[in-house]
Structure 1
Amino acid sequence: MKINIKRFNKNDNENSGKKEYLVKNTNLLQALIEIKTTIDNSLSYRCGCKSGVCGSCAIRVNGVEKLACKTTINDNDLIEPILNTRVIRDLVVDVSHETFLLKNTNAFIEENKDIEISQNDINLIDVQSNCILCSSCHSSCPVYSVNKSFLGPFALSRALRYVNDKKSMNSTTIIDSIQTNGIWDCTLCSACTLVCPQNIDPKSDIMNLQNISVQNGYTNPNMQSFDANMGFDMSDMGFDPNGF
């Protein structure tokens, strides 16, 4: 089986560009290991657990974000690094900035409540707790591609996890931190949801955070701008907003 891998080496143009390899393994990660050990030891990729838990082997296959360890390849597949981040070499990327965005959400418990936690309370935060920080969602995100200050899908899903955590004494700090370059900047396109290997739905999480923010007195700044640009005066249409 032939696969094509996008190579990048800033110090060696000869080892950059798309290269074709003939492999026996149909699992992508095993195919990468096969190439590294028997064909071309200069190939660089990242892996850890090899079982879909650590998220370190996230790549793109034919333009779609995947975990290499969980992906079955087909003839002539194109393998590339994930998008919207700096490529270090070949399929290895720098995800430090995306991880840094987690800190900007203040998504942690500052002070614990001394309360009993039920199974329902655990279930409420269970899905978001399964995030493996693979950055597939950031790679697919059209907003993050043009605004690296955007908190992005996994950081916002993590924020919801702690907002909903019954052990947290106060979630106001988290809600405050996601208003700018956060929940209102998302286009709700679902690209992140489609590529999440853990079946997390960041779009739904962001919508939930928008609702929670409104309940806490925040408004969508995009709607304020929309209203200002409409240019109508409703009283011109015979409507008195103060009447009945």
Structure 2
Amino acid sequence: MKITIQRESIEEYQVSLPDATLLEVLGEIKHHQDRTLSYSSGCRSSVCGSCSMRVNGREVLACSYKVQDGDFVEPLKNVNVIRDLVVDMDKAMSFNAKAKAYAKTNSEGILVTQENEKLNEVQSDCILCGSCYSACPVYAVNGEFLGPFSLTRVWKYVSDVREQDMKEKIDTIQINGIWDCTLCNECTIVCPQDISSKTDIEKLRSRSAMEGHMDPSFSGGFGDSFGSGFGFDGSPTF
């Protein structure tokens, strides 16, 4: 079985490991063929998210993906590569702070029901693998986009009945945030935990509207005779 890995150059390896995970194959290569190969791993149980990478153009967890002959393996996108398949996630993590994607709660006197818990139960399963961050196409045009990685966490806290500063979080994600998302759904497709960041961003847009915000592209309003606000200015659209 042949596997190709994007390193400083593209390198091919032959491995005989039937029904093996990508992480097992990488370990075989490192221990028996090329000790210089670098990659990240942790729990080996699809829980820690540290072994996320791309195979044939799609984000996967190496510990769960079953290798196929001819697979092309490369590091995550939209992040700096440290070496081979090891990437620096610091910038992705920094967007959590910029988006205020953290709890600021006061549970005193607040009863959290089972219905309340289910509002963000799925979002709480995020393993910080960064797959959604890598898959997002918006970073090609806006490197400061808060992104699905952080915005889905914002929804987790905004939907928490104990959250004290919901409006502050909503105000924070208006610039380089929810309106920059194209709703392409690539983040949802690659999430190993089946979290739909697209849906979370749509919910944040609805909540933003309730707080008086709107899509900046419509900020001009309707204008005269359905003017510039919605593009109805009499000019042809192609």
TM-score normalized by structure 2?
Answer: 0.90
Counterpart of 2:197 in structure 1 is 202
Tell me if 1:121 matches 2:110.
Answer: no
Separation of aligned partners in 2, 1:227 and 1:157 = 29
Tell me if 1:165 matches 2:160.
Answer: yes
Deviations 1:15-71 (A, max 9, x none): xx1111111332100100111111100000011111111111111100011010010
Q: 1:61-210 maps to which residues of 2 (within 5 A)?
A: 61-114=55-108, 115-210=110-205
Moved more, 215-224 or 96-105: 215-224
Separation of aligned partners in 2, 1:121 and 1:228 = 37
Structure 1 stretches of 4+ moved >4 Å: none
Q: 1:211-222 maps to which residues of 2 (within 5 A)?
A: 211-222=206-217
1:104 alignment partner AA: K
Quick check: 1:29–1:69 contact (8 Å CA) kept in 2?
A: yes
Separation of aligned partners in 1, 2:194 and 2:128 = 13
Structure 2 spans left out of the alignment, 5+ residues: 221-227
CA shift for structure 1 position 159? 0.1
Quick check: 2:99–2:169 contact (8 Å CA) kept in 1?
A: yes
Structure 1 spans left out of the alignment, 5+ residues: 9-16, 233-244
More helix by share: 1
Pair member with larger Rg: 1
Deviations 1:61-117 (A, max 9, x none): 000110100100110100000111111110011110000000011122324142111
Percent of counterpart pairs with the same letter? 47
Task: Output the aligned Cα RMSD.
Answer: 1.3
Separation of aligned partners in 1, 2:16 and 2:117 = 44
Quick check: 2:96–2:102 contact (8 Å CA) kept in 1?
A: no
Quick check: 1:112–1:169 contact (8 Å CA) kept in 2?
A: yes
TM-score normalized by structure 1?
Answer: 0.88
Moved more, 49-58 or 17-26: 17-26
- Counting matched residue pairs gives 224
